[in-house]
């Protein structure tokens, strides 16, 4: 439609000689989008880790606001200015050059300021390094583009060269484009290493949750569900059952909150914020991949919290989830084949444990008898003496002399 209205005028023979194309390539679709995406990332890091709350504006709301000035300036310049017809160097009117120059100076300054404000946060996934690298590269490209612009204004013969360098620099910027989504997404998909983490707790180094803290013999199924879920094997069996009922998100949510509670409140604040944001994105937000069924008011209270590191952030939600499991799932679980399989496995483990204890007692008795035999027998049996032809002679030489004297008297 725009081509039919002659809005995008490609009046020159070669693309690299067209000022309109270079205007959109350097501005909105190049420097504008890339800088805006980095600013959105810095905006999220500032709110989450410094303000300890979720950003009030989503990335899909903030990004169009940041890019819109670039598109507005480019559209106005193309509609009003006649630079493509006047000069091969694409000289603008002084007011348009000031408008474009202000954007090229303002956005890198905002990005550098936002990067500087989050420098003291000890991130787990190198967000600050990625942000600093992006700011440095954008600043370097800004210097290169400014130099190419000055060179093109001084000599029209270098226009093609400068535009080629600008196009290459845009490609370099795309290589260093940081996604708007959290860097944890790249970590889960193996971009940083070949190891894949199944949970956020493993990525943050949280100890494996659900280790059985008491002997299997003392396992009592009459305990409350909250205490039974502390056992890893019971939780795995219960999870398999609720997955068959299409309600596995409640157990996953409970497990992730348990891992969050393992992080220390004072010394692991950053890790707690990572974990809390992950739980909100995965289980709490409307339309989340594994959204749990909680009240609307409770959902809003969690999303609008002013402290993501609050130890009681998910306390009410966990209580509501446990109540729902007890009312809707637990009674069916006790009568299911999943519980019967778990019970059979535990009985087999108890029997093997008792058999192992009996074998250990027998080994202790045997070792005690051998020790007593070696203590009271002056010539303990050596199994290696049976095949030695000189073993009998050695024993005779070691016998006392009184024994030899008595034998000789009897012979005489």
Q: What is the pLDDT of residue 369?
A: 52
Q: What is the pLDDT of residue 391?
A: 43
Q: Are 55 and 43 in contact (CB under 8 A)?
A: yes
Q: Annotate 292-353 with DSSP letters as a single string.
A: ----HHHHHHHHT-S-TT-TTTTHHHHHHHHHHHHHHTHHHHHTSHHHHHHHHHHHHHHHHH
Q: What is the pLDDT of residue 218?
A: 53
Residue 30: both structure tokens together? 């190049």
Q: How far apart are CA 30 and CA 33, in angstroms?
A: 6
Q: How far apart are CA 201 and CA 203, in angstroms?
A: 5
Q: What is the pLDDT of residue 38?
A: 84
Q: What is the pLDDT of residue 148?
A: 67
Q: Are 373 and 380 in contact (CB under 8 A)?
A: yes
Q: What is the pLDDT of residue 115?
A: 86
Q: How far apart are CA 304 and CA 309, in angstroms?
A: 13
Q: What is the pLDDT of residue 219?
A: 64
Residue 294: both structure tokens together? 């909680």
Q: Are 127 and 45 in contact (CB under 8 A)?
A: yes
pLDDT digits (tens, 9 = 90+) for 193-245: 444 566 777 777 776 644 444 444 456 778 888 888 888 888 888 889 988 88
Among 25, 18, 7, which Cα is nearest to 76's?
Answer: 7
Helix (H, G, I), strand (E, B) or coil at 386: coil
Q: Are 84 and 19 in contact (CB under 8 A)?
A: yes
The model carries a pTM of 0.67
Q: What is the pLDDT of residue 401?
A: 46
178-196 as b/e: b if 16+ CB within 10 A:
bebebbbeebeeeeeeeee
* Residue the block writes with tokens 């609720």: 242
Q: Are 309 and 272 in contact (CB under 8 A)?
A: yes
Q: Are 74 and 138 in contact (CB under 8 A)?
A: no
pLDDT digits (tens, 9 = 90+) for 158-188: 555 666 666 666 665 555 554 444 444 444 4
Q: How far apart are CA 255 and CA 248, in angstroms?
A: 11
Residue 410: both structure tokens together? 């009897």
For the chain, the distance separating the N- and C-terminal CA atoms, rounded to the nearest angstrom, is 137
Q: How far apart are CA 34 and CA 1, in angstroms?
A: 27
> Could you state, in chain order, the average pLDDT of each consecutive group of 10 residues for the chain (412 residues)?
48 57 77 84 89 88 91 83 53 72 84 86 80 78 71 61 62 54 44 56 66 51 84 87 87 89 80 90 90 91 91 91 88 88 78 55 54 53 44 44 41 35
CA quadruple 257, 263, 264, 270: dihedral positive or negative?
negative
Q: How far is CA 289 from the centre of its chain?
A: 16
Would you give the DSSP letter of residue 249? H
In order of start, what are the domains of the chain with their CATH numbers? Answer: 15-188 (no CATH), 216-339 (1.10.167.10)
Q: How far apart are CA 274 and CA 185, in angstroms?
A: 12
Backbone angles phi, psi at 251, to 5 degrees: -70, -40
Long-range contacts of 266-272 (CB under 8 A, 24+ apart): 269/309, 270/49, 270/121, 270/122, 270/123, 270/124, 271/124, 271/204, 271/205, 271/206, 272/308, 272/309
Q: Are 197 and 203 in contact (CB under 8 A)?
A: yes
CA quadruple 75, 76, 80, 83: dihedral positive or negative?
negative
Return the number of other C-beta atoms located less than 10 Å from residue 71's C-beta: 16
329-360 as b/e: b if 16+ CB within 10 A:
bbeebeebebbeebeeebeeeeeeeeeeeeee
Q: Are 84 and 90 in contact (CB under 8 A)?
A: yes
């Amino acid at each position: 439609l725009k081509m039919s209205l002659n809005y995008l005028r490609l009046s020159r023979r070669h693309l690299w000689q067209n000022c309109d194309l270079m205007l959109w390539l350097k501005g909105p679709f190049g420097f504008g989008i890339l800088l805006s995406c980095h600013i959105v990332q810095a905006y999220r890091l500032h709110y989450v880790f410094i303000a300890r709350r979720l950003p009030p504006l989503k990335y899909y709301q903030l990004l169009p606001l940041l890019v819109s000035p670039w598109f507005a300036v480019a559209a106005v310049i193309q509609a009003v200015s006649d630079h493509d017809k006047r000069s091969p160097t694409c000289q603008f009117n002084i007011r348009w050059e000031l408008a474009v120059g202000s954007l090229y100076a303002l956005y890198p300054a905002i990005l550098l300021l936002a990067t500087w404000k989050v420098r003291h946060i000890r991130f787990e996934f190198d967000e600050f390094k990625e942000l600093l690298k992006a700011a440095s590269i954008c600043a370097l490209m800004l210097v290169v583009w400014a130099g190419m612009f000055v060179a093109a204004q001084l000599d029209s013969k270098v226009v093609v060269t400068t535009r080629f360098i600008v196009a290459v620099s845009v490609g370099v910027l795309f290589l260093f484009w940081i996604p708007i989504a959290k860097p944890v997404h790249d970590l889960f998909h193996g971009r940083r290493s070949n190891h894949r983490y199944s949970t956020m707790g493993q990525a943050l180094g949280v100890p494996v949750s659900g280790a059985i803290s008491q002997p299997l013999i003392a396992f009592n199924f009459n305990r409350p569900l909250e205490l039974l879920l502390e056992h890893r094997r019971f939780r795995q069996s219960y999870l398999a059952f609720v997955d068959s009922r299409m309600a596995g998100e409640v157990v996953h949510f409970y497990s992730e909150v348990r891992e969050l509670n393992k992080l220390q409140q004072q010394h692991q604040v950053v890790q707690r914020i990572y974990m809390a944001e992950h739980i909100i994105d995965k289980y709490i937000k409307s339309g989340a991949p594994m959204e749990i069924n909680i009240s609307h008011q409770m959902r809003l209270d969690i999303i609008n919290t002013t402290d993501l590191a609050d130890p009681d952030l998910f306390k009410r939600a966990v209580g509501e989830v446990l109540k729902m499991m007890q009312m809707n799932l637990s009674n069916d679980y006790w009568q299911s084949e999943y519980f019967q399989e778990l019970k059979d496995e535990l009985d087999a483990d108890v029997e093997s444990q008792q058999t192992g204890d009996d074998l250990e007692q027998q080994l202790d008795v045997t070792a005690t008898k051998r020790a007593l035999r070696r203590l009271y027998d002056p010539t303990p049996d050596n199994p290696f003496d049976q095949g030695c032809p000189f073993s009998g002679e050695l024993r005779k030489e070691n016998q006392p002399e009184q024994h030899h004297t008595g034998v000789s008297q009897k012979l005489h």
